[in-house]
């Protein structure tokens, strides 16, 4: 399978999330292509999944992400899955302040992209990925990269590697009979068995030829 990950990043946080997911997709044995939303949409013929992400800025999402969704619809990508993600924050530690700032953070870019994709009739995944940053410019909060990895795993299941069965050479009849004869010999009786074999070889019967008179 091949995944196309589209992103828009201002301080590198959303790009980092995209790169983490791409790395996990490749680790699972699939192809992954990362591209900035400011660039032209690539060919989608061999693409099986598209992920679109952008930062949440003042409760809004970049129009370039909306444009990408509209282009996916125009390119008949409707039956193939689409997933969305974003970065947001930081959220205030104080519960009262956090509730006041909620309108600027939730539903965020991911929530808005989710609604737009559904409106356009795209096969969008209901679950989206949201990664929080520590400061206004980042970096990503501890544990957010792990969330991105887990999200990628849900979207792109790992390939099962084919196990190579080693070829076993067939044993000859002589070897099979010899092995069967040795079965049941203990370590104690092994020396006696070898000794008996040696004596058997030495004590060969002597053929006496009588001369005619």
**Average pLDDT of the residues in 169-173:** 55
Cα 169 from Cα 157, distance rounded (Å): 37
What would the mean pLDDT of 26-38 be, rounded to a whole number?
97
Q: Are residues 81 and 142 both part of a single domain?
A: yes
Are residue 181 and residue 151 in the same domain, yes or no? no
Question: Is residue 69 a part of any domain in this protein?
Answer: yes
Residue 134 sits in the same domain as residue 187: no
Task: Let me know whether 39 and 144 are in one domain.
Answer: yes
Domain holding 122: CATH number? 3.40.50.360
Q: Is residue 104 part of a domain?
A: yes
Instruction: Note whether residue 168 is domain-resident.
Output: no
One domain, residues 117 and 183: no
Taking residues 107-112, report their average pLDDT: 97
- Pair (98, 198) in one structural domain: no
Do residues 57 and 111 share a domain?
A: yes
Give the closest residue to 88 by CA, choosing from 48, 129, 127, 27: 129
pLDDT in tens, 41-85: 999 999 999 999 999 999 999 999 999 999 999 988 878 999 999
Question: Is the residue at 163 inside a domain?
Answer: no
Range of the domain at 186: 175-202
Residues 196 and 118 in one domain: no
pLDDT band at 157 (very low <50, low <70, confident <90, very high): confident
Percentage of the chain lying above the pLDDT 90 cut: 70
Q: How much is the pLDDT for 186?
A: 47
Say if residue 193 is in the same domain as residue 130: no
Q: Is the pLDDT of residue 31 over 60?
A: yes
Whether residue 167 is contained in a domain is answered as no
Report DSSP state, residue 3.
Answer: E
What DSSP designation does 46 have?
Answer: T
Q: Which sign does the torsion angle of CA 185, 186, 190, 191 carry?
A: negative
Q: Is the pLDDT of residue 165 over 60?
A: no
Query: Does residue 72 sit in the same domain as residue 139?
Result: yes
Of 29-43, 73-87, 140-154, 188-202, the range with the lowest mean pLDDT is: 188-202
Q: Say whether both 14 and 107 belong to one domain.
A: yes
On whether both 15 and 91 belong to a single domain, the answer is yes
Q: Are 142 and 98 in contact (CB under 8 A)?
A: no
| CB distance 81 to 47 below 8 Å | no
The rounded radius of gyration (Å) of the Cα atoms in the chain is: 35
Alpha-carbon gap, residue 81 to 24, rounded angstroms = 18
CA distance 121 to 123: 7
Judge whether residue 99 has pLDDT over 60. yes
Which residues contact residue 187 at a Cβ distance below 8 angstroms, ignoring those fewer than 6 apart? Answer: none
Q: Is residue 166 part of a domain?
A: no
Q: Does the pLDDT of residue 209 top 90, yes or no?
A: no
Flag whether 121 is in a domain.
yes
Alpha-carbon distance 137 to 133, whole Å? 8
Please state the domain count of the chain.
2
Residue range 155-165: average pLDDT?
64
pLDDT of 197 over the 70 cut: no
pLDDT value at residue 162: 45
Do the Cβ atoms of 132 and 141 come closer than 8 Å? Answer: yes
| pTM as predicted | 0.74
- Kindly report the average pLDDT of the chain as a whole number: 85
User: Is residue 181 pLDDT above 80, yes or no?
Assistant: no
Phi, psi angles (nearest 5°) of residue 163: -90, 125
Residue 86 lies in a domain: yes
């Amino acid at each position: 399978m091949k995944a196309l990950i589209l992103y828009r990043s201002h301080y590198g946080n959303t790009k980092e999330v995209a790169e983490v997911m791409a790395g996990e997709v490749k680790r699972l044995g699939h192809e992954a292509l990362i591209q900035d939303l400011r660039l032209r949409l690539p060919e989608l013929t061999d693409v099986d999944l598209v992920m679109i992400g952008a930062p949440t800025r003042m409760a809004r999402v970049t129009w370039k992400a909306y444009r990408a969704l509209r282009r996916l619809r125009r390119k008949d990508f409707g039956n193939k899955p689409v997933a969305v993600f974003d970065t947001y924050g930081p959220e205030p530690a104080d519960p009262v302040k956090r509730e006041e700032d909620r309108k600027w953070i939730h539903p965020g870019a991911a929530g808005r992209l989710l609604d737009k994709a559904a409106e356009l009739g795209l096969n969008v995944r209901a679950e989206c990925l949201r990664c929080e940053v520590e400061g206004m410019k980042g970096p990503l909060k501890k544990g957010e990269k792990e969330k991105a990895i887990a999200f990628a795993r849900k979207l792109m299941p790992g390939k099962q590697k084919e196990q190579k069965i080693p070829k076993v050479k067939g044993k000859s009849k002589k070897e099979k009979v010899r092995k069967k004869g040795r079965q049941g010999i203990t370590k104690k009786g092994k020396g006696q068995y070898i000794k008996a074999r040696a004596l058997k070889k030495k004590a060969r019967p002597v053929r006496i030829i009588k001369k005619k008179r």
